[in-house]
Structure 1
Amino acid sequence: MNKKISSSNRSFAFVFALLGFSFAAIAQNSECKNKIVAFEEFVQSNSHDQTLYSRWKELKQQCPTESESVYLIGEKILNQKIDQANTAEEKNPMISDLMSVYDEHDKAFPNNKKGNRISKALLLYDNKTGSSKEIFAFLDKAFKMDNSEFTNPNVLNIYSELLVSQYQKKEIELTLEQVLEKLDEISEKAQSELKKSSLVKENLSLKAQTEKLTSQEQSNLQNAKVSANELTLVMENLSARTDKLANCEILVSFYQKNFDKNAENALWLERVSDRLDAKKCKSDFYIKVSEKLYALSPSAKAAYNMGIISRNAKNKPQTIEHFTKSAELQTDINKKAELYYLVATTYGYGDKVKAREFAKKALEVKPAFGKSYIFISQLYANSMKECVGDNAFESKALYWLAAETAKKAGAVEPILKKSADDLAANYTKKAPSKEEISQAKRKSGEQISFKCWIGETVSIPKL
């Protein structure tokens, strides 16, 4: 199911300081300069005056090329009037007027970089006017001609949604391959914007750990978090829409045709790898893409993918190498802990020293990572022969250490408490009984040391 991306909120407040420039500073014609200054002064003290709209229209007619501000102010005025309209009869003329303002702005200032084609599409889409075909046409042209302004997650989502729906309804004359090509281009744009937002978020989050952020930095961090979340949903929707159109055979064939020209494009390789992975298209081509991506850009995700490939090939040394690299590159502490745990379980009972080492690394990263304690307890419980040999009492005493370790899982991670306590209880049943303690001439509180790889001690409990 496609996930909704919230529209960006528009502010209709007339705070002209936020425009970043002055009417008077830009106007060149002396007569228009005076009119613009007068209009500015009027707006600042009469921002809700009923004559504001008519005064603005007169100014635009008289001074259409003196300043872009005339069009930006007009956009705000008309958006406010549209927002305040109660009926379609009141709203539609204002929508038409605003559509004209966008056109006039582009004509008077063709290099304005304001993304007016995108604004026109959103205006029609948000107000449920105009056909889907018309809205798509605006967005399709904007994506080609105003790509640098095509950054709004909501717009990227609408564009891909309309592309797929119109293709399925046969309302546009595009082949499946052309649609996949467009979806791939939209994905690359969303992926690029996500990288930017994520970088800002990571850098400011790291900075916040050591020093106080300025109010501007706090705002930038919050905006980056929102943007990253919304762009992540856009990527998920794009993946879902692509999946509906193409099976593994079609996808692999499509991407293979484009591999040579994108072989050095890390964003493309990452996207293809993720998409084929999500759809479980684990072909030789997937391995080729993943290997190229890892060589070109050894990120945490790329290293993880290589670990999975190595594990499927039953190459344990390379599996460990790639999962370890992925953990080292990972910045998210939860994922980092999971990766170290994955390395620990890959070593498993065959190399208990390394297995415990990496289980402890997970705990260093995330002290509340209870699974590590459970795994370590299992390592202890399976070490009797190599640690205590023929000493039956001390062999069974190892279960006390395993039980103590298992209980720590529930202490640090409450959700694991029941399973951890059940495991500890099972170990305790296998440990020496009161009678066995007496027969071995031992007493409660006495410590037993395990001098093998474990190197730990346990106290005989009071039973």
Structure 2
Amino acid sequence: MKIKFTIIGCLSFLMVGFSHAQANWNWPEDAQMEAKAREYNAAYTDYRKSGEFLKAREGLHWLLTNVPDLNESLYINGVDIYAKASDMVDDEDQAREFQDSVITLYNVRNEKYDNEARWIENKAYYAYRFFKGDKDRVGDAVELFDRVVEIHGKITTPQLVAAYFDAIYRHFAYNQAYTPEEALTKYEELMAMLEDAEEEGKDVATPKATLEQLLVAMDIIDCDFINNSLGPRLEKDPESMKLAKQIFEYSVQHKCTNTPAFLSALEVIDNADPTFTTSQVRGLRYMQNSEYDKAGELFEKALTLAETDEQKAEIHWDMAKVHANLNRKGQARSSALKAAEFNKEEFEKRAHGFVAGMYMSSSSDCRGGQSRVKDYSIYIAAYNAYAKAGDSDGMREAKSRFPSKEELFTEGYQVGDEINTGCWIGQTVTLATRD
């Protein structure tokens, strides 16, 4: 898998726990050791304050080795010193040694003071920062973020939510550590955390965008995944609006609207919270599947939800096609012309062309067999409809099927006489001939 890393910017948040003043100092009982401990403590803190972290490390190391129970500040300040020292050296092995020391300090601090909840999020941050590019250790960062959630139930800093999912993405890319379903579940969980944070008034726009970019980079969502993985989940939990909306959004995004999973999701959404769009799209899907009766029911529902003339026109046009497919030609004509009433510019010519086509195809339905003039009069009706549609080709085709002069004469008619087509067409037309 080609890894398309999303750059996680600087995580600008306050790292809690860096404190200078700590109670409960445990100075050695031996006077000489106490004096030495005080000397090293003063020295390393002075170096730290002046930004000389490599020098600060020397005194800190002596204190951690010889008086490890002196004060919790050794571990708090030690994390800061070793982390910053790792940024100051060019040797990768030495930098990694300092980074490992940061993690070790947290581990020892937990053994001695048992207050993991206070700093576990910071530890996860450092693990991500240090190991995100390391195939063998990026999983350690993921596990620490998992531990944060285990302790607190969430990640409290939105930027760290993005870091968490970036670590998951890298672990997935490097080590195939998750199935696509597991990776998507992680995405959903973390996105839910961000949504909760947003409700609390926090700005989560950037981490949300990062999660979405990483999910796309994982390249796990396609039509097969939606239909074969998410679809069965919806079958097991058919009332899950959240899952239904997710399937709907992914299907639209990835152009997978012809899958059974999309239709199932659409049904859940439309039944629970119908809108004009959901009912119309659902009807269109049924029509694509040649389930015209069901489509008609949904279009009728959509019509009650339509708010504009344009929407009403669309639904009447959809209904026209449903009626036509069910051989309800009279109703199809009425619906098509109704669409034109609501949106003349969009549907008037289309509606008349649609009606003309139905007239042209009604020869066998409307042939009485007693009068050729009457039987052929439906083509005059079609011609008139094509004229309203502005379809000159259709007009020529219809005129080629007009009755002939001889047929009019034989039956006692003249050009200009009026006749009703009868049948479902029921149009009174002025007779004309094809020759």
TM-score interval, normalised by the smaller of the two chains: 0.5 to 0.7
Say whether the 8 Å CA contact 1:269–1:293 is kept in structure 2.
yes
CA contact (8 A) 2:131 2:138 kept: yes
Partner of residue 10, structure 2: 9
Where do 1:81-160 residues align within 5 Å?
81-108=85-112, 109-115=115-121, 118-119=124-125, 121-126=127-132, 128-129=133-134, 132-136=135-139, 138-140=141-143, 142-143=145-146, 146=149, 148-149=154-155, 151-160=160-169
| 1:316 pairs with one of 299, 303, 324 | 299
- The reply on whether 1:42 has 2:46 as its aligned counterpart is yes
Structure 1 Cα separation of the partners of residues 138 and 122 of structure 2: 13
User: Structure 1 residue 250 and structure 2 residue 228: aligned?
Assistant: yes
CA distance in 2, matches of 1:196, 1:95: 33
**Corresponding letter in the other structure for 2:80:** K
Q: In structure 2, which of residues 24, 30, 47 is the aligned counterpart of residue 28 of structure 1?
A: 24
Task: Give the Cα–Cα distance (whole angstroms) in 2 for the partners of residues 76 and 241 of structure 1.
Answer: 38
Q: Which amino acid aligns with 1:139?
A: V
Number of the residue aligned with 1:186 = 186
Among 261, 274, 278, the alignment partner of 2:249 is 274
Larger CA Rg, structure 1 vs 2: 2
Would the alpha carbon gap of residues 18 and 158 (structure 1) be closer, same or farther in structure 2, given more than 3 Å must change?
Answer: closer
Describe how 1:376-391 pairs up with structure 2 within 5 A.
378=345
Residues 239-284 of structure 1 show CA distances to partners (whole Å, capped at 9, x for unaligned) of x22439x545532564256526xx44x4444333333444516444
Q: Determine the C-alpha separation between the residues in 2 that align with 1:232 and 1:38.
A: 48
Match of 1:286 among 240, 246, 262: 262
Deviation, 1:160, is 3.1
Output the amino acid matched with 1:226. Answer: T
Residue 101 of structure 1: CA displacement? Answer: 2.3
* Superposition TM-score, scaled by structure 1 size: 0.50
Q: Distance in 2 between matches of 1:256 and 1:379?
A: 38
Q: Secondary structure in 1 aligned to 2:24?
A: coil
Provide the C-alpha distance between the structure 1 equivalents of 2:306 and 2:26, rounded to a whole number of angstroms. Answer: 69
Asked whether the 8 Å contact 2:313–2:340 carries over to 1, the reply is no
Alignment check: 8 A CA contact 2:279 2:302 kept: yes
CA distance in 2, matches of 1:289, 1:316: 18
- Per the alignment, residue 331 of structure 2 pairs with none
Pick aligned residue for 1:226 from 206, 221, 224: 206
- 1:53 Cα deviation (Å)? 2.3
Instruction: State the alpha-carbon separation in 2 of the partners of residues 118 and 64 from structure 1.
Output: 24
Q: Does the 8 Å CA contact 1:164/1:179 hold for their aligned counterparts?
A: no
Residue type at the aligned position of 1:160: Y
C-alpha offsets along residues 122-151 of structure 1, whole Å, 9 cap, x if unaligned?
A: 24434x44xx24422552564366352394
Pairing 1:55-70 to 2, within 5 Å after superposition:
55-60=59-64, 62=67, 64=69, 66-67=71-72, 70=74
| SS class of match (1:273) | helix
Contact kept? 1:153, 1:231, Cα under 8 Å: yes
Greater share of residues in helix: 1
- What is the CA-CA distance between 1:93 and the residue it aligns to? 2.0
Contact 1:28–1:66 (8 Å) recurs in 2: yes
**Distance apart, 1:192 and its partner CA:** 0.9
Secondary structure at the counterpart of residue 149 of structure 1: coil
Contact 1:102 1:116 (8 Å CA) reproduced:
no
Distance 2:88 2:95 in 1: 8
The CA distance in 2 between the partners of 1:71 and 1:40, in whole Å, is 13
Aligned to 1:241: 220
- TM-score, normalised with respect to structure 2: 0.52
Matched residues in 2 for 1:323 and 1:161: separation?
47
* Counterpart-to-counterpart distance in 2, 1:95 and 1:21: 17
Q: Deviations over 1:343-400 (max 9, x none)?
A: 4873688457866xxxxxxxxxxxxxxxxxxxx9x46997xx9xxxxxxxxxxxxxxx
How many aligned positions are there?
Answer: 301
Is 2:141 the partner of 1:163? no
Check the 8 A contact 1:6/1:154 in 2, yes or no: no
**RMSD of the alignment, in Å?**
4.8
The one-letter amino acid paired with 2:107 is D
Partner of 2:290: none
Partners of 2:143 and 2:86 in 1: how far apart? 25
Change (3 A) 1:53 1:119: same
The 1-side partners of 2:306 and 2:74 are apart by 57
Contact 1:276 1:286 in 2 (8 A): yes
- Taking the aligned partners of 1:323 and 1:3, their CA distance within structure 2 comes to 44
Decide whether aligned partners of structure 1 residues 181 and 312 sit closer, same or farther in structure 2, where only a CA change above 3 A counts.
closer
CA separation of 1:235 and 1:121: change in aligned 2, threshold 3 A? same
